């Protein structure tokens, strides 16, 4: 009769389960990672904005977030003025995006629906995009032509 110890199998299963749990936690943490924040101004309103300046940060954006504070948002910084389009894949919060030129002037504002791949584009080359909870710009009477203050320099 052959005897096969169950102990190695149990240890392998336990190690595999532990590794899976660690990877799941790391992935979830990465998906909801917070970026450095700055204060921006839109008229009399102060915005606490996370800054997405690197390519990987811009790709991640606000994906997997389930909520965002009333005056919180995310500003996307691009290396040079460019034609930019935004979309909402894996983004659970309805957002409005303001496309902003080199001087901080809002070019256009678009509303975006959660979990869609529909493109929302700047009407001309821009340096920044500022995402806020959907309707924030309208509620605060912030319109194209107005200036966003405190934007980071590239």
Q: Has residue 9 been placed in a domain?
A: no
Q: Which of 115, 122, 77 is nearest to 94 (CA)?
A: 115
Q: Has residue 20 been placed in a domain?
A: no
Q: How many domains does the chain have?
A: 1
Given a contact cutoff of 8 angstroms between Cβ atoms, the answer to whether 101 and 126 are in contact is yes
Q: Has residue 10 been placed in a domain?
A: no
Q: Has residue 31 been placed in a domain?
A: no
Q: Which CATH number does the domain housing residue 49 bear?
A: 2.60.120.1140
Q: Has residue 99 been placed in a domain?
A: yes
Instruction: Dump pLDDT digits (tens) for 51-109.
Output: 999 999 999 999 999 999 999 999 999 999 999 999 999 999 999 999 999 999 999 99
Q: Has residue 21 been placed in a domain?
A: no
The CA distance from 49 to 34, in Å, is 10
Q: Which domain holds residue 135?
A: 37-149
């Amino acid at each position: 009769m052959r005897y096969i110890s169950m102990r190695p199998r149990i240890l392998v299963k336990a190690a595999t389960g532990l590794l899976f749990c660690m990877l799941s936690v790391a992935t979830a943490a990465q998906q909801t990672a917070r970026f450095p924040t700055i204060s921006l101004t839109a008229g009399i309103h102060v915005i606490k904005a996370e800054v997405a300046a690197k390519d990987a940060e811009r790709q991640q954006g606000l994906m997997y977030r389930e909520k965002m504070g009333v005056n919180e948002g995310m500003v996307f910084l691009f290396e040079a003025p460019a034609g930019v389009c935004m979309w909402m894949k894996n983004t659970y919060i309805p957002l409005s995006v303001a496309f902003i030129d080199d001087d901080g002037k809002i070019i256009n504002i678009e509303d975006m629906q959660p979990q869609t791949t529909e493109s929302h584009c700047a009407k001309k080359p821009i340096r920044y995009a500022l995402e806020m909870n959907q309707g924030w710009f309208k509620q605060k009477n912030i319109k194209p032509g107005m200036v966003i203050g405190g934007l980071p320099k590239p």
